[in-house]
């Protein structure tokens, strides 16, 4: 079954503002731990299709008059319609097998017999208890639940009516037990998810290119898997799958994938998982890009100070401890270097990463210019606080779109994935040696539906 082939399909996120000044260096940013929750629906019609494919139309055939102690009886049993499955509230699957039976019986003595045939229909019933083991295999135990006659079989020899119910029931009971073994064998074979879990786990561990423009990669490392107990309904089986992951973002050369696994760790059964999930990933803005944004905004900008002007001749952005430092060289009335630092935070109204708790200091060789520091300080801090920021609106819009595009696809024939992003925004903002990392929270849901084995 294909459902676990893409159990770990991950979303792609379009990220702006990533650059790599060296071209070859790899910047790796903090690992972010989060979880994905996916409701999974398996229509019982698909399990029914699997069983119908494996069970031939001709279920049983006895072509001998002389077997079974010379019973002078032949019988053939066919499926008349597809086998039907229904879920019940006791975690069982009820199976209904409609049958057409042809029978021929001989009456006579001393080797002289008169034969009469008849055709009739019945329905056999089974109950299958299904359990999902935490090693990714499924075990079933199928039991016969009797059968119902549409019309009891009778041979019509004119004046003599001979019921053959007992003869037919004997064959049916034997076939019911054989059929139980067939059902359990087919389900054990077809519903073994270990191989698909390995494929998915290894595929999921491959880095994803999330921005070709900025050569940015997202690497996902599954940590463990949680699954809720199977729930049986009249027409489907439901469960929820939760995947705990680490996500890492890289810019530059594609990072190496994790070593492939040959066996996936056992999953954990838990009673409940949320229908929505919060996925945390990162968007990374190198200081070279933050500097580019600052130069675009402020390079060659002039201030009026005491009927004179101050001009910004160069500007750069870098990190210092947990603060962003903006270093601006100025000329004119104030000639020197201004240092404005602040703690980066996300402003939801402006949809920008801005500076808070702003601090200022001025380095100048002209002691007289220090008298104008307070005026200059007020103007440049106001400008930085009002105007400077790393915009995230493009990030939010493109990310939401790309996530929903990834959520609503049929990656494999018969396996449909649907999902919706309810909210996406940067939350925490971190400083690292290479740049600024925005931790992005994505509120979403995701569902898998299997249609076609």
Question: How many angstroms separate the Cα of 93 from the Cα of each of 45, 130, 140, 172, 447?
Answer: 12, 7, 10, 21, 23
Cα separation, 345 vs 358, in Å, equals: 12
pLDDT in tens, 137-185: 888 899 999 888 877 777 776 777 777 788 778 777 887 888 888 888 8
Q: Across 294-308, 357-371, 398-412, which has the greatest mean pLDDT?
A: 294-308
CA 310 to chain centre: 56
Q: Which residues contact 269 (CB under 8 A, 6 or more apart)?
A: 134, 226, 227, 228, 229
Cβ(216)–Cβ(210) under 8 Å?
yes
pLDDT in tens, 336-375: 898 999 999 999 888 888 999 999 888 877 655 566 677 7
Cα separation, 405 vs 401, in Å, equals: 6
Q: How many CA atoms lie within 13 A of 101 on its CB side?
A: 31
| Residue 210, pLDDT score | 64
Q: Which residues contact 452 (CB under 8 A, 6 or more apart)?
A: 2, 46, 49, 413, 414, 415
Which tokens in the block code for residue 43?
A: 């229509």
| Residue 10, pLDDT score | 30
| Residue 413, pLDDT score | 65
pLDDT in tens, 214-267: 566 777 788 888 888 888 888 888 888 888 888 777 766 787 877 777 777 788
Q: Across 32-46, 113-127, 206-220, 338-352, which has the greatest mean pLDDT?
A: 338-352
What is the helix (H) or strand (E) element at residue 51, kind and residue range? Answer: helix 44-54
Cα separation, 369 vs 362, in Å, equals: 10
Q: Which residues contact 39 (CB under 8 A, 6 or more apart)?
A: 238, 239, 240, 241, 275, 445, 446, 447, 448
| Residue 211, pLDDT score | 62
| Residue 313, pLDDT score | 94
| Residue 326, pLDDT score | 94
Q: Which residues contact 281 (CB under 8 A, 6 or more apart)?
A: 13, 32, 34, 218, 247, 249, 439, 440, 442
The dotted CATH code for 44-190 is: 3.15.10
More confident position, 399 or 182: 182
| Residue 438, pLDDT score | 83
């Amino acid at each position: 079954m294909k459902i676990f082939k893409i159990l770990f399909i991950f979303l792609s996120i379009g990220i702006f503002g990533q650059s790599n000044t060296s071209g070859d260096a790899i910047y790796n940013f903090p690992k972010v731990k989060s979880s994905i929750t996916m409701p999974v629906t398996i229509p019982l019609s698909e399990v029914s299709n699997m069983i119908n494919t494996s069970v031939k139309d001709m279920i049983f055939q006895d072509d001998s008059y002389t077997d079974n102690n010379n019973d002078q009886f032949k019988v053939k049993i066919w499926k008349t319609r597809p086998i039907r499955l229904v879920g019940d509230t006791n975690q069982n699957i009820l199976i209904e097998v409609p049958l057409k039976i042809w029978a021929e019986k001989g009456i006579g003595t001393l080797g002289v017999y008169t034969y009469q045939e008849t055709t009739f229909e019945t329905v056999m019933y089974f109950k299958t208890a299904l359990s999902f083991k935490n090693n990714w295999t499924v075990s079933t135990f199928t039991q016969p639940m009797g059968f119902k006659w549409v019309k009891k079989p009778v041979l019509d020899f004119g004046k003599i009516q001979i019921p053959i119910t007992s003869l037919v029931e004997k064959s049916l009971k034997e076939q019911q037990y054989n059929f139980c073994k067939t059902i359990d064998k087919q389900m054990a074979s077809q519903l073994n998810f270990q191989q698909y879990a390995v494929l998915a786990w290894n595929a999921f561990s491959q880095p994803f290119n999330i921005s070709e423009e900025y050569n940015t990669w997202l690497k996902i490392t599954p940590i463990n898997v949680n699954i809720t107990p199977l729930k049986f309904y009249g027409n489907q089986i439901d469960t929820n799958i939760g995947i705990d992951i680490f996500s890492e973002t890289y810019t530059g050369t594609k990072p190496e994938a994790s070593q492939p696994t040959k066996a996936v760790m056992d999953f954990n059964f838990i009673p409940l998982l949320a229908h929505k999930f919060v996925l945390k990933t990162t968007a990374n803005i190198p200081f070279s890009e933050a500097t580019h944004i600052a130069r675009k905004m402020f390079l060659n900008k002039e201030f009026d100070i005491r009927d004179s002007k101050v001009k910004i001749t160069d500007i750069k952005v870098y990190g210092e401890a947990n603060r962003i430092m903006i270093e601006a060289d100025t000329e004119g009335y104030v000639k020197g270097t201004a240092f404005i630092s602040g703690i980066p935070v996300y402003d939801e109204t402006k949809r920008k990463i801005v500076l808070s708790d702003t601090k200022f200091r001025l380095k100048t060789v002209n002691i007289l210019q220090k008298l104008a520091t307070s005026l200059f300080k007020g103007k440049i801090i106001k400008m930085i606080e009002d105007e400077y920021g790393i915009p995230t609106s493009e990030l939010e819009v493109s990310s939401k779109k790309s996530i929903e595009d990834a959520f609503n696809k049929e990656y494999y024939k018969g396996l449909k994935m649907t999902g919706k992003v309810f909210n996406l925004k940067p939350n925490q903002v971190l400083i690292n040696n290479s740049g600024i990392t925005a931790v992005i929270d994505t509120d979403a849901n995701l569902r898998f539906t299997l249609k076609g084995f």
